[in-house]
Amino acid sequence: MKIIDRLKEDRIHISFEVFPPKTDEGIDKVLGATAEIAKLNPAFISVTYGAGGGTSRNTAKIASYIKDDLNVLSLAHLTCASSTKEEVREVIENLKSLGIENILALRGDIPANMAFPSGNRFRYACELVEEIRKHGDFCIGAACYPEGHVENEHKEDDIKYLKQKVDSGVDFLTTQMFFENDIHYNFLYRIREAGITVPVLPGIMPITSAAQMKRSQELSGTVFPRRFLSILDRFGSSPEAMRQAGIAYATDQIIDLLANGVKNIHIYSMNKPDVAAAIMNNLSEIIKC
């Protein structure tokens, strides 16, 4: 089944994300965590992609396990900046042979000390989307940035490039994490005005430790609102208190989104089935409405 068909259903959909281990030795632990998350009956589970080696190979392995063994829709991430065009095509064909119908097309981070762009690599995500379309009838997702992409100085340019990417053949979008819902609502207004009509899944990241917040800020440049910083100041030194506060904050974001008509939400669960389960428990009656 394609994710876009599920998203069109008139009901609430909550999905989760997992990431492969850095080495093959950690695969069993990740599969175990993924199996626990699958018990929460998610709309789908996405699997992130790393730069080469076991990480990228294991993306396909985990996505196939989700689909075939756990009977849950899977979404395989695919990045292109760190791979040659031929390597990207091999990955697409492998996903196709495994019966994986859903791909999240991303440029990805540019590896350090690598000449980019180069003639044998895709430069933009829209080029990757076009390439995936050539290889089969995939459902293609892509990323979007409510606070603007860090490489674009002006938000108008960001939306222009997003429109180009969607027009290349994107079926749905997933946002980068954000921590203030008004940012998402304003973003939705601006992209709809620009003619981008595909479904947009807000990406929610439960921040359960001070170290996780620091990493998130370094990777995405996202802005943390004052009320979240107050939580961190008060509870950041107590791991259990910060975990509980972070889950509550993410739950509050999700409830507000649902109350305002958003039906599809993606949670960056970071291979933490206990955090995913706590959020779903908080939403147990709400998602029935």
Q: Which positions are catalytic?
A: 17
Distance CA 12, CA 264 (A): 6
| 85: three-class secondary structure by DSSP | helix
Do residues 65 and 96 lie in contact, with contact meaning Cβ atoms separated by under 8 Å?
no
Helices assigned H by DSSP within the chain: 3-7, 27-38, 53-68, 85-97, 125-135, 155-167, 181-193, 210-220, 226-235, 239-259, 273-282
Determine the 3-state secondary structure of 231 from DSSP.
helix
Spatial contact of 270 and 247, defined as CB atoms under 8 Å apart: no
- Which of 50, 76, 51, 79 is closest to 62 using CA atoms? 76
The Cα 222–Cα 149 span in angstroms is 10
Q: Report which DSSP code applies to 288.
A: G
Crossing angle for the helix pair 239-259 and 181-193, to the nearest 10 degrees:
40
- Distances in whole angstroms, Cα of residue 183 to Cα of each of 9, 148, 161, 228, 280: 26, 10, 19, 15, 24
Phi, psi of 142 (to 5 degrees): -150, 170
